[in-house]
Structure 1
Amino acid sequence: MSMLTVEECELLTDSKYRSYITQVEKALRSFEYTSEWADLISALGKLNKVLLNHLKYPVIPKKVTIGKRLAQCLHPALPSGVHLKALETYDIIFKCIGTQRLAHDLFIYSAGMFPLLGHAAMSVKPVLLTVYEKHFIALGRHIKPGLNGLLLGLLPGLEEGSEYFDRTNLLLEDFSDAVGPPFFYTGIWECMLSCPSVRLCGATFLLNHLNKKLSMEDQLHMIGLDIDLMVSSLCSGLQDSSVLVQRSMLDFLLIAFPMHTGQLTKADLGRVVEATLNVVLRRDMSLNRRLYAWLLGTSTSTSSVPNTGGSGKGRELHRADSSSTTCEMDLSYFQASLYWLNNSVGNI
């Protein structure tokens, strides 16, 4: 009795709620006698029927056991029919308990749902995304404790050419608004650091939301709340076994942290340069081109000066000054790159 909440203890005085508990226990016992996937669909149907008949009770009895059974029904080896039936059960439960109780019991129901998208069938993905849109966005900042798990579950939906790319991207943007961009991007970097399988999708999201017309100082939220975490994640991506991940991280590095800007500290920049040197071992032209563009800088084209009727000498002087300024910028960029390159080679 000590494990029950006050509300549950009060409901136990209701004979109809006690009958509800008995029916749930009976429905759960049917899972113990399943031998094939069709039996699981039948057992889920019995559970759904019991839940639908008692929607007036916001407290679900045996919720931990129900959460375990639903997670088992979302196993990757099971067919899409079982997954769809389990998602139907989730939807019924979330409608019944409401947003506040879902936030409290998030750990119970998220264990099965969050890993599903990566291996779900095409018929299951839209239903799963609908559940997220209907019930999880409404959690707002209460999703924070489970944000990393949610991101690990949603990022696989950002595969290039995926039918649900735009819908998944919009869903991630909604969660970013709900928890705040700095906290959200901290979660992105944590996921990319700890889980190599989502690095490409995470890098895709970062590149799609990085404003190339603004400096990183104007969009600091993309760094997150921990710059050391961001640098570690960036280095792990640069050293990833996938060429596509390395290419994406070099693209991000080239746009967000040009060598000459000094936006990273000397220690952090040294770590990044050391990580980028491993790219050369790939002997991949696309990687080398991006690496050299970052180390040596891209050529800056000067705009032509309009003829305002002045003397030719004045126009020549202006072009000479412009060329001199460009050379000084390129030399500064090259010297900074050479400094970090020499230091990194010396540390290897």
Structure 2
Amino acid sequence: MARPLIAEIDLDALRHNYRLACECSPLSRSVAVIKADAYGHGAVACARALEDIAPAFAVACIEEAVALREAGITAPIVLLEGIFSVDELPQVDALGLWMAVHSDWQVDALLGQRLSRPVPVWLKVDSGMHRLGFSPERAETVWQRLAAAPEQACDLHLMSHFATADLVDGSYFKRQLAQLESLSERLGAPLCLANSPATLAHPEAHGAWNRPGVMLYGSDPLEMPNALTSQLLPVMTLRSAIIAVRELPAGEPVGYGGRWVTPRPSRIGVVAAGYGDGYDRHAVDGTPVLVAGQRTVIAGKVSMDMLTVDITDIPEADIGSEVVLWGRSANGEVLSVDEVARHCDTISYTLLTGVLPRVPRRYHGAS
């Protein structure tokens, strides 16, 4: 019998969340962001589930694009960070990829390359995130340079990334948006701006293209949830089982360092899951889990291959009982990955992308 830990991926929920992104902005096209192996969900399986409804996909690097093409995905694929070296351009050409450009050397490489067809280009503008991109002033010059080279670059768009679209305080977001709208107006340029938070909460930022990412996987990216985020469905359920039960008197330490001590006579369930699987070792005592469809908590430090939960108040819980670390239990109870992330002092992105390859992915839906 196999170890019971699996990551169950609901492809119907993925399609639901993508359609919600489209409904948020019916006048925009939505590129499905499936970088980082679709945030840990499996890029090829997720692309196949979306390919009949998503007009394009977005990845971080050419290796991710190659994997999709080799799997038979023919839709446009955007390289969100562009190329990392000049010798990637022949692959961009051969695979028919779109690319972002954020640096002068990328522009020089593209315009200096003889291509079989022009490359659709998204010009990255640094409107305040201060990672990648040209300043708004420099972007005008670069835009004109690209526009003057139709044999190398076509279908030009301006893109940028919001630093604070998820926050209730919208002052910095508004400052970024104003810069981008002004630049777009001067150039007559279509925009690609909205990430998941902006897709869900800032219709004023919806452009020719939006870039929904983590929302596709059922995570609420907003500091303050709204009516739209309540419609998101979890795509990944990280599911395991109890493999041992310990009956302990009050005052007994549990796990490494004895961090958690039984406050009463307690039943402790040992679960087949740990940081060696990608479950966050920073999970504090009290981090929620579902056991047999009922909420309880982690009790003790997470180990490499196991963690322990308090099942004192779930008398029916025993060896073999279902444990949901996040996602949907067999009885329909949902534990949000966002809630778990808060107890680990992190965000859902790190939990989802951190599920390691030794955890089997099991797909259902979207047949």
* TM-score above 0.5, yes or no: no
- Higher fraction of helix: 1
Higher-Rg member (1/2): 1
- Higher fraction of strand: 2
Structure of greater relative contact order (alpha carbons < 8 Å, 6+ residues apart): 2
TM-score by length of 2: 0.22
